[in-house]
Amino acid sequence: MVNNIENRILENDKRAAARLITMLENKDPEGFRILKSVYAKGGNAYVIGITGPPGAGKSTLTDKLVKAYRKKGKRIAIVAVDPTSPFTGGAILGDRVRMNDLNTDKDVFIRSMGARGHLGGISEATSAAVKVLDIFGSDIIFIETVGVGQSEIDIVKNCDTTIMVMVPGLGDDIQAIKAGVMEIGDVFAVNKADRDGSARTAREIEMMLDFNKTLAWRPPVKMVVATENKGVDELVEAIEAHREHMLTSGAFTTRRIQNAKSEVVSLIKERIEQSILDNAHNEDKLSTFSKEIVSRALDPYTVVERLYEEIKDTIHIK
């Protein structure tokens, strides 16, 4: 048992923070009671997303970025998200392997999360963890996540600055990435710049970014070799420039308000869905009507109209 979490978390107590994150992952009502009681103390941490294809060097780069920010005396937290097996629900969360030196730094807190198996989705779970680590007293929170899949993309949408990590030789992949997530990157890092083709990859990214000339912020593209700590200071400068832009242009607050709005909407959706499905009567009706939709006795639109009026009253927002 971990007692007195609400006071301990304000005193930078790691065990209290760690346990509160677990409670929120579990949707434990006591966890939400505690988070609500300390929520007003937060809002001070800057949140940096690190995304890109698997194996691009995100964890290695995060380790180096954290070391650079530690030199500036910043207190750091990292939330590292790794894929979960869709078959067993299990996962091997291995990002800490690349961050071993950070393990004995008392001003660094690292939390690993499996991508699946969270009620409401991983983006909700990471967002709760970020709130805890902010209140706990972190100056900067890094979120590492693979840049494939909508739920992972939703995570980085919630960050103040998002770094898109690319590597040479992505070939056609770069087209796919362009379609999905290019617009999410505030800063681009071409990692593994010790390899052939990195200059070309950087040029391709620059060209894609130049297609969109209406941007208020033109994302810079930086070459780095994470394993050798090369180009990391320049990357930090680019991050700081973006942060400066966010704060002076007002985009920082606008983005946060937008994120708060979408968070509330998704929490409401989740509540309503849960409330409907918790009611066995509703489940039965849904099943019956669904069969009739398939046999064409009814259409889905009529079903929605009929059910809405009835189901409305069974929604209990706890």
CA distance 232 to 212: 26
**Strand ordering across the sheet containing 46-52:** 108-114, 76-82, 140-146, 46-52, 161-166, 187-190, 221-223
Structure tokens at 184: 């999410």
Find out whether 79 and 193 touch, Cβ atoms under 8 Å. no
Task: Give the pairing of strands 140-146 and 46-52.
Answer: parallel
The interface with ligand GDP within residues 25-54 (CB under 6 A) comprises 54
Q: Is 225 in the site for ligand GDP (CB under 6 A)?
A: yes
**Residue 194 binding ligand GDP, by CB under 6 A:** yes
Could you tell me if 81 and 144 are in contact, meaning their C-beta atoms sit under 8 angstroms apart?
yes
Residue 296 to residue 34: CA distance in whole angstroms: 49
Binding window for ligand GDP (CB under 6 A); candidates: 35-43, 219-227, 250-258, 281-289: 219-227
Stretch that binds other proteins, among 83-91, 185-193, 201-209, 243-251 (CB under 8 A): 83-91
Site string for other proteins, 104-123 (x = CB under 8 A): x----xxxx-x--xxx----
Name which of 199, 154, 148 is nearest 49 in CA terms. 154
Number of residues forming the site for other proteins (CB under 8 A): 32
Per CB under 8 A, contacts with other proteins among 12-31 are 14-15, 18-19, 21-22, 25-26
Is the CB of 56 or the CB of 177 nearer to ligand GDP? 56
CB of 271 to ligand GDP, least distance (A): 34
- Of 196, 244, 241, residue with least CA distance to 223: 196
Which helix or strand (DSSP H or E) is residue 288 part of?
A: helix 280-294
Interaction of residue 242 with other proteins, rule CB under 8 A: no
- Close Cβ partners of 41 (under 8 Å, ≥ 6 residues apart): 10, 135
276 contributes a contact to other proteins by CB under 8 A: no
Residue 18 binds what, of Mg ion, other proteins, ligand GDP, none (CB under 5 to 8 Å, by partner type)? other proteins
- For residues 144 and 204, which CB has a smaller minimum distance to other proteins in the complex? 144
Contact residues: ligand GDP, CB under 6 A: 54-60, 98, 191-192, 194-195, 225-227
Contact residues: other proteins, CB under 8 A: 1-2, 14-15, 18-19, 21-22, 25-26, 84-85, 88-94, 96-97, 100, 103-104, 109-112, 114, 117-119
